A and B are shown apart, each in its own frame.
Chain A
Amino acid sequence: MSDPPPTPLLTLRGIGKSFLGVRVLDGVDLDVAPGEVHAVVGENGAGKSTLMKIVSGGHAPDGGTVEFAGATRTFRGPRDAQRAGIGIIHQEFNLLPERTVAENVYLGHEPVRRGLVDRRGMLDRTTRLLASIGETTLPADARVGQLGVAQQQVVEIAKALALDARLLIMDEPTAALADHEVELLYGLVRRLQERGIGLLYVSHRLAEVFDLSGRITVLKDGRRVTTVDTASTTADELVRHMVGRELSSYYPDRAAPEDRGPVRLNLRDAGNRKLRDVNLQLRAGEVLGIGGLQGSGRSALARAIFGVSPFTTGDVTLDDRPVRLRSPRTAMRAGIAYVTEDRKGEGIVPRQSVLDNALLASRAVFAARSGRAARTARVRELLAAVEIRGAGDDQEIRFLSGGNQQKVVLARWLALNPRILLFDEPTRGIDVGAKSAIHDLVRRLARDGAAVLMISSDLPELLGMSDRIVVMRDGHVAGELPAGATEEEVVALAVGTVREKAQ
């Protein structure tokens, strides 16, 4: 452990917390200096969110002390912590979409003049506030619902600053951002640092952690494993601290050329409202990676194939037979499965049991095909095979970690014996252990003859998993890269710095 910088802004000493007798945090020490970015990393379930909730007043610790700005504090709630100067930017934003930027920034403490809200003053102050963090293109009177995700994040940050936050907690701030927006966030973080604001930065993406932070604290099973200076560590070392495993064993072997089977799915000049002239072949036995920026049509492609927003032009053939995939049901009947990007909103039925979640698709589409008992037995086997740890089949799925939830969703689709699998960000927001389990599973499915299409924003994952990579841009295919391509090649195609291959 390195020496803490002088006069920390926040000091946590021996923080402990139990829920219903289960220890989720145990004796955690951590400090943040003004102007420092302190990253907190760890697998899901390591206690990061609980720790952040304790700092921001959402939970009271069972043990230990929270010292902020020189005094020991006991926050009675999030508002109390806010007033003290601690702001938190959650993964999911807390904004009113129908209101303007200024109204959101000053929500609940609007500047008042002669008993009325001073609209003019509020706009001016918001504009100045935004300018002070280098944001000059965002109008203070814009409706928040019309802004992009990155700009909404700026509004969230401005909201915290309007309350004179001196410590900002960012929980997976880049999870919702496209790659080029991440750069903007970096700039923002640096300007916050310059203002002397301390940042607690929680992220799964180690690249960001290395780019931004001064120190890194690794949590594992509710305990602090270590705190290191970012400059003196490596990604491999961090991952070892998190899981006790080498980064090099991360991706399973690719398919050998002779393992690739015939073309399963063939798109010719396919398009709809979001896609145009997509030509694509998906072979049995391969993992086809789909790269591109967010909004480039990657998800639209998967959703079109799965019949959610079907293709309106062009031809689709499945095993050389023309098909029209008009709805998820028809796609499922054709042997296609789709693991969505938004697990919480589209992947799980949160308050139902693990078993009910895993049975959802078989019940809906193939109810008549097999007996109930056989179907349930098969799904239980699949749940055991994907190794959901620490949860019974009867537990409500919302209490599971993201990684375990994703495994349940996988079991749901595997129960249908799909021949084509579409994965949209299959490992987003998932801890390292579950991530590699899912990678292994995806590869095993391909080896067993399934055709796999995998969308990923995580470039190492895309490059590590794919047998071929198709990069999308502006709703069409910008180009194709073989296995062994570099991150630079993918990015160049995605942002359009290289000429497209003629199609």
Chain B
Amino acid sequence: MQTVQPRSLPLRLPRMRPGGVLPILAILAVLLVLVGIRQPDFLAPQSLMSFLGRSAPIILLAAGQYFVIVSGEFDLSVGSLVTAQVVVAARLIDSDPSRTWPVVLLLLAFGALVGLVNGLITTRLRVPSFITTLGMFLILVGAVYLWSDGAPKGGLSEEFRRFGRRAFEDVPLLGRVPYALLVLVVLAVAAVLLMRSDFGRTLVAVGDNPRTAELSGVRVWRTRTFAFILSGLAAAVAAILLGGYSGVSFQAGAGLEFGAITAVVLGGVALGGGRGAVVGAMLGALTLELLFALMNFYGVSGALRSTVQGGIILLAVAVSATRSSSR
């Protein structure tokens, strides 16, 4: 048999990959310059470390949300889950230091359980995740009110609060490094490694085309359910850090689900799944926090936060939609 003549190569040029982290890095750099102009002190190691520590919960939530979104689903329940966790922790610990560790473990189990339920309802009962997690959101809000008779009870122990409050003092070069930042770094590295593993690659493939994944032997329901569990666990860790940092209230987690979704979208992750990096999602959260800090420095009202988030979601999705349809 004769060989076929070689053909000219199809399109193969260096291009900016959609879903890459370059755009979000660029936005972050611009914001850092703007902050540096307005408030040079902010970029000193001391205040930067503290800022990163404060941002740890939303960054972790963004990572958790990323797993769910990249697999093609949504998790709207994380905000109320954080609230529920904080309120539950306060009541169960009731200022007794000896209960700290058992309650921490319990919160992680609680987060995983909520994720498991979200995942199973979505994948096995085929309820769209938007509805499943919206229902879970409302259930948790109501349950927490009911359980605590309308006002948070008890209090967190100092041991519990140290995760969100304390820091390693006198670290060379950096000064004060919050515990929260250490937790963040460890979990962020774990998240990146997870996304490079077989599970991570499979998770993105499921979001890209669940039919193909299923016919290639992937148990799509298990993969997605695991993503929900990861999101629940991220909410548990975020709740532990937030509870320590800002205290117990019914508002502890309010709006965090939208913050996380905004961050994920800003980080170049496609809604509907199949594209984007977990690093992008986490950088998106950092960028969002930096943007809020910047607004603060410029005296913009904090009341505009949700307006800004809404605008970012619409803009980011519009940009990615026009970019992908133009090819």
With A351-B274, A365-B217, A412-B216 in contact, do A346 and B10 touch (Cβ < 8 Å)? no
Whether A363 pairs with B198 at a CB distance below 8 angstroms is yes
Cβ contacts under 8 Å, B201 to chain A: 352, 356, 359, 363
Whether A329 pairs with B13 at a CB distance below 8 angstroms is no
Shortest CB-to-CB span from A420 to chain B, Å, is 15
Chain B 1-14 near chain A by CB (<8 Å), digits 1 or 0:
11011111111110
Q: B213: CB under 8 A from chain A?
A: yes
Of B156-164, B204-212, B308-316, the one touching chain A: B204-212
Other than the given A244-B2, A346-B212, A390-B10, 10 more pairs (CB < 8 A) read: A244-B5, A329-B217, A348-B209, A349-B213, A350-B274, A352-B274, A356-B204, A356-B205, A363-B201, A364-B213
Whether A332 pairs with B217 at a CB distance below 8 angstroms is yes
Q: B218: CB under 8 A from chain A?
A: yes
Cβ contacts under 8 Å, A332 to chain B: 217
Q: B214: CB under 8 A from chain A?
A: yes
Choose from B2, B12, B214, B218 the contact partner of A245 (Cβ within 8 Å): B2
The CA-CA distance from A19 to B326 in the complex, in Å, is: 12
The CA-CA distance from A441 to B2 in the complex, in Å, is: 16
Cβ contacts under 8 Å, A243 to chain B: 4-5
With A391-B12, A399-B10 in contact, do A361 and B5 touch (Cβ < 8 Å)? no
Whether B10 pairs with A351 at a CB distance below 8 angstroms is no
Which of chain B's residues has its CB closest to A360's CB? Answer: B216
Choose from B13, B215, B216 the contact partner of A22 (Cβ within 8 Å): B13
Chain A 24-62 near chain B by CB (<8 Å), digits 1 or 0:
000000000000000000010100000000000000000
Chain B 185-225 near chain A by CB (<8 Å), digits 1 or 0:
00000000000001001101100110111111111000000
Whether A364 pairs with B11 at a CB distance below 8 angstroms is no
The CA-CA distance from A20 to B204 in the complex, in Å, is: 28
Shortest CB-to-CB span from B138 to chain A, Å, is 31
Whether A367 pairs with B275 at a CB distance below 8 angstroms is no
Whether B198 pairs with A19 at a CB distance below 8 angstroms is no
Cβ contacts under 8 Å, A249 to chain B: 1-2
Whether A347 pairs with B212 at a CB distance below 8 angstroms is yes
The CA-CA distance from A22 to B11 in the complex, in Å, is: 6
9 tightest CB-CB pairs across the interface, nearest first?
A365-B217, A390-B9, A364-B218, A349-B208, A364-B217, A361-B216, A363-B198, A433-B4, A349-B205
The CA-CA distance from A466 to B6 in the complex, in Å, is: 29
Q: B15: CB under 8 A from chain A?
A: yes
Whether B4 pairs with A245 at a CB distance below 8 angstroms is yes
Cβ contacts under 8 Å, B275 to chain A: 351
With A245-B4, A328-B217, A364-B216 in contact, do A20 and B13 touch (Cβ < 8 Å)? yes
Whether A372 pairs with B205 at a CB distance below 8 angstroms is no
Q: A401: CB under 8 A from chain B?
A: yes
With A349-B205, A350-B208, A351-B275 in contact, do A45 and B216 touch (Cβ < 8 Å)? no
Cβ contacts under 8 Å, B7 to chain A: 43, 45, 221, 389-390
Chain A 339-383 near chain B by CB (<8 Å), digits 1 or 0:
010000111111110001001110111010000100000000000
Whether B12 pairs with A346 at a CB distance below 8 angstroms is no
Shortest CB-to-CB span from A422 to chain B, Å, is 11
Cβ contacts under 8 Å, A245 to chain B: 1-2, 4
A and B contact pairs by CB, cutoff 8 A, 8 listed: A22-B11, A222-B8, A249-B1, A346-B215, A350-B274, A361-B216, A363-B201, A364-B219
Shortest CB-to-CB span from B152 to chain A, Å, is 45
Cβ contacts under 8 Å, B10 to chain A: 22, 45, 390-391, 399-401
Q: A486: CB under 8 A from chain B?
A: no
Chain A 418-437 near chain B by CB (<8 Å), digits 1 or 0:
00000000000000010010
Cβ contacts under 8 Å, A244 to chain B: 2, 4-5
Shortest CB-to-CB span from A239 to chain B, Å, is 11
Q: A97: CB under 8 A from chain B?
A: no
Cβ contacts under 8 Å, A348 to chain B: 209, 212
Shortest CB-to-CB span from A237 to chain B, Å, is 16
Chain A 275-317 near chain B by CB (<8 Å), digits 1 or 0:
0000000000000000000000000000000101000000000
Cβ contacts under 8 Å, B6 to chain A: 389
Whether A372 pairs with B198 at a CB distance below 8 angstroms is yes
Whether A360 pairs with B205 at a CB distance below 8 angstroms is yes
Whether A360 pairs with B8 at a CB distance below 8 angstroms is no
Shortest CB-to-CB span from A17 to chain B, Å, is 12
Chain A 394-413 near chain B by CB (<8 Å), digits 1 or 0:
01000111000000000010
Whether B11 pairs with A19 at a CB distance below 8 angstroms is yes
Which of chain A's residues has its CB closest to B218's CB? Answer: A364
The CA-CA distance from A351 to B204 in the complex, in Å, is: 9
Shortest CB-to-CB span from B220 to chain A, Å, is 10
Q: A21: CB under 8 A from chain B?
A: yes
